Structure 1
């Protein structure tokens, strides 16, 4: 019941925010303000409903220390996307025609902030976290990662391959990031860093969605399995490989920190205090 209540509270704000951002029609100041407002209101809704349904402080979105955690996540996401674009460029699938639009990049800050925050709250903050309590970290990851991929299947230019790629490189990776850090700021940062690097900096399609030009006028071409095709670099084999590698890194970090949650009924970690590691 609490899962449904939490999903409903965050989804209501996310839906209203998406309508408002869409109505802005990429007007730069409006899209920026409405996108950031959607992100903030979604966080407040999540914190409120967690307090009401779980009778606890929502420490996973605590404001204290949020900046550095968010910043680390953004760097990881940006670096991951830059590495993927570099691999695509080396194989002849990405080139830059020139400068794009600074205004478009600013608008995308708001748009991507809303998308990153709302999706992380819904999929990692609610679904993964609550399912993990019963099925453990591995069970929750195997259940929620495919759901995240399927959620992107209705996007323009999406295919079963792109949905599978998103399930691994984002669904599994972001769950692993949460499992290792036990806060939502780092996965939000990774999510935003990846999305903004794609649309706002390198000028590529992001999850098949139409968006204004970013800082660079970038173009992808060639076989879709290498470049991602119309879905964007997320649909490339390079993104899939990067996601697998980073997922393994964060799961290993979670195991080392003792933050992996066992399936209900199994023995808990030897040092429960380790789950408080930042």
Structure 2
């Protein structure tokens, strides 16, 4: 099967003088446009919901959960639409990275991959006695779905088909992999209970999403993997997700065992900041990137 990883070689990214700089400028502009598209459309959706219900819109956090879920879905669709339209216009090409024919299968496979990987991490921690898992009443689902969709779409579009792709266009695939993974880990240092070790664990796992993008040429499987990972970690197992508790509310609760070092239990940051996560994430990254390498997906980008 032919996989087209389109980096852009026409329009603003036509080969020639300063293309590396043009790619970096376009990276910033495209990222800003996509974030603005998501936020403006999500807020507009919530305002319409508030207007329809006869209430005043105050903030996203104060809106009903079902309205916020719908706002995230509409915001995500708008963000993807703005990406497609602006890339088609500025780069003068088709958008295979958003090819719709494999949308549902890619998302489904990605959800399974992400869910299995994080369940393996938490399962290993539970077997080792580093975390305790107990049953809890189910209190919410829509909020976790909203958080999972939002984090998956925004982060994968930005990190995969904007930052990684355009860094690849500017500097090559290996520098793009290293820089985008480092950026992803570094940004999470702003989260509650974040540590340098937690950031390193996230960097180790970035090869999973990158590998899926390289193997398919599309962003959908990476989005599904990210959403499945966060949903299973936060809702199903009830643990912190990168230091955040917004995903909780499912059938289980996973907490660090008293006296166990945070490097083993994940501490307040959650299972992603543990030796189990570092090992499994790094192993999975090596597998997906290794398969991509064997299939020639790391080939020079000069003719793409």
Q: TM-score range by the shorter chain?
A: 0.7 to 0.9
- Aligned partner (choices 62, 68, 76) of residue 99 of structure 2: 62
Measured in 2, the distance between the counterparts of 1:5 and 1:27 equals 32
- Residue 289 of structure 2: which of 251, 254, 261 is its match? 251
Select which of 133, 152, 176 maps to 2:188. 152
1:140 is displaced (CA, Å) by 0.8
Q: 1:235 aligns to what SS in structure 2?
A: coil
Q: Is 1:223 paired with 2:261?
A: yes
Q: Deviation digits for residues 161-184 of structure 1, max 9, x if unmatched? A: 111111111x33222221222110
State the Cα distance separating 1:13 from its structure 2 match.
Answer: 2.6
The aligned residue for residue 196 of structure 1 is: 231
When Rg is computed on C-alpha atoms for both structures, the one with the higher figure is 2
| TM-score, scaled to structure 1 | 0.87
Distance 1:182 1:123, change over 3 A: same
Deviation at 1:16, TM superposition (A): 4.3
**TM-superposed deviation, 1:213:** 2.9
The answer to whether the 8 A contact 2:131-2:265 is kept is yes
Q: Does 1:7 align with 2:26?
A: no
After TM superposition, what 4+ stretches of structure 1 lie above 4 angstroms from structure 2? Answer: 15-22
| Partner SS state of residue 132, structure 2 | strand
8 Å CA contact 1:39–1:114 kept in 2: the answer is yes
What is the CA–CA distance in structure 2 between the aligned matches of 1:97 and 1:17, rounded to whole Å?
Answer: 39
* Aligned-pair CA distance for 1:15: 4.2
TM-score, normalised by the number of residues in structure 2: 0.80
Question: What's the counterpart of residue 234 of structure 1?
Answer: 272
* Alignment-derived partner of residue 275 in structure 1: none
> Between Structure 1 and Structure 2, how many residues are aligned?
264
State the SS of the aligned residue for 2:198.
helix
CA contact (8 A) 1:139 1:263 kept: no
Q: Take 2:42 and 2:272, find their aligned partners in 1: how far apart are those partners?
A: 22
What is the rounded CA distance, in whole Å, between the counterparts of 2:299 and 2:64 in structure 1? Answer: 44
SS in 1 for 2:190: coil
Structure 2, unpaired ranges of 5+:
1-24, 47-58
**Alpha carbon RMSD of aligned pairs, Å?**
2.2
Structure in which a larger fraction of residues adopt helix: 1
Which structure 2 residues correspond to residues 33-182 of structure 1 after superposition, within 5 A? 33-102=70-139, 104-169=140-205, 171-182=206-217
